[in-house]
Amino acid sequence: MAAEKELVASEAIAGLPSFLRNAPKESVLVPQEAWKKAVDTLARFSELPGRSTEEYKYTDTDKFFPSDIKQVDVIASSNGVSHNASVDEKSHQIVFRNGVFVETETRLPNHIRVTWGSKNRSEVPQYAEAYFASTSDPGVDFFAALNTIRFHGALFIEVLPSEGLESSVRVIHHYDSDSSVSELYFPRMFIHAHPGANACFLQWANNKPNGPERRVVGVTEIRACKNSKICFYRLQHEGNNFAQIQDLSVLIEEGGEVDTNTLTIDCVWVRNNLSIRLAGRDATAHLNGLFITAGRQHSDMRTLVEHQAEFCKSNQVYKGVLAGKSTGVFNGRIFVFKDAQKTDAYQSSKNILLTDDASVYSKPQLEIFADDVKCSHGSTTGQLSEDAQFYLQSRGLSKESARSLLVSAFASEVLETLKNDELRKIATELVFEKMNKGLLVS
């Protein structure tokens, strides 16, 4: 690494490991402009985002980094790569093991190409060069900017138009190292869908539960070109030694459609940022999400939809189920630009509190500058219906079964939006498994 410059003037950022205060003078991958923007963003902070910042009002990040944390080297190809991992010949997949892209386990259809970039600018595919780090706005989020400064390798995924069936690709991150110190990862991924292209991505992590503390600060960028269709589904169930801050930025051009789903089923601490820009007319975005928390778990979902062009549609349904002393946050903002006439935007946030000690903060925001639009939003928080619970009990179901059936029913509205059978099955089973553990029974 070249000479490093001090990023943050103040020593006073409590909780930020000292090695994160420094950054190389320039990036081997990130274009100069995006790099500078990220550096400037970080320099503005004198403390980690938390209660005093509007964006992180309910999510303190000052304990996010354990004191012994080290960034894991994902460049050295020998690191953690297992060559005899079981490979399912039938499914398409992109595999990472402890942050390292594993080409030998990655299998893709002809119209999807990947490039792993880590060493120099020439590895960045031409289609990405122009847009890199421009779909996400590092000026907004501290951690997305931190990722821009610190990531060492990025995966560029190119989706070309294909005849016939839509392809679904699993993006699997295995975390199974036996490191003695806490690990920090900065995964970075870019999906570029060419005009008319079509693909579905399902991402999840297989985290070894008894390993070291793991922290992930990830950024994914999607650019859906004209008339392309992309699904990006993320399933989070990493368990207790894993905390993450994920930033997903999507840009949709004319006639494009992007379908996102974020399922947070078993995460000790998670923050998900999702921003979608509908940049060309007739573009469509679906944003769905479900979080289920128990114990002292914390889940923060943040969405931003920008209607920049006319005749665009956005539809979001977020649901939360909270037990124990867990906390949840949904903050959804819809911004309709002046020229975005005929916008059709919908947002719904519904939460169920299963215990008296669980809490949820739900904040829908609608800002409309066009005058001919159809926008609506709603937010509700309540408890399971006692009448419904009694009805089921009166038919012979235990209180636990009745509650778990009602929670599944509540969650099903989100699960049913998953257009991929495989992920829907996995997610549905996880929801049941979580409830069968008794976590949801007060």
Binding site for another protein (CB under 8 A): 385-388, 390-399, 401-402, 405-406, 408-410, 412-413
Nearer to another protein, 19 or 390 (CB): 390
Nearer to another protein, 86 or 394 (CB): 394
Q: Shortest gap between Cβ of 399 and another protein (angstroms)?
A: 7
Nearer to another protein, 315 or 393 (CB): 393
As a whole number of angstroms, the distance between CA 228 and CA 256 comes to 5
Nearer to another protein, 234 or 403 (CB): 403
The CA distances from residue 110 to 128, 159, 199, 290, in Å, are 19, 9, 12, 33
Q: At what angle do helices 32-44 and 142-150 cross, to 10 degrees?
A: 130
In sequence order, what E strands does 253-326 have? 257-264, 267-278, 284-293, 298-307, 313-322
Q: Shortest gap between Cβ of 339 and another protein (angstroms)?
A: 39
Nearer to another protein, 329 or 402 (CB): 402
Task: Judge contact between 43 and 6, C-beta under 8 A.
Answer: no
As a whole number of angstroms, the distance between CA 260 and CA 55 comes to 21
Q: Shortest gap between Cβ of 296 and another protein (angstroms)?
A: 28
The CA distances from residue 264 to 60, 101, 185, 276, 404, in Å, are 19, 24, 19, 19, 17
- DSSP string across 98-163: TTEE-GGG-B--TTEEEEEE-S-GGGS-HHHHTTTTTSS-TTT-HHHHHHHHH---EEEEEE---S
Q: Shortest gap between Cβ of 345 and another protein (angstroms)?
A: 24
Q: Shortest gap between Cβ of 411 and another protein (angstroms)?
A: 8
Nearer to another protein, 19 or 391 (CB): 391
Q: Shortest gap between Cβ of 20 and another protein (angstroms)?
A: 45
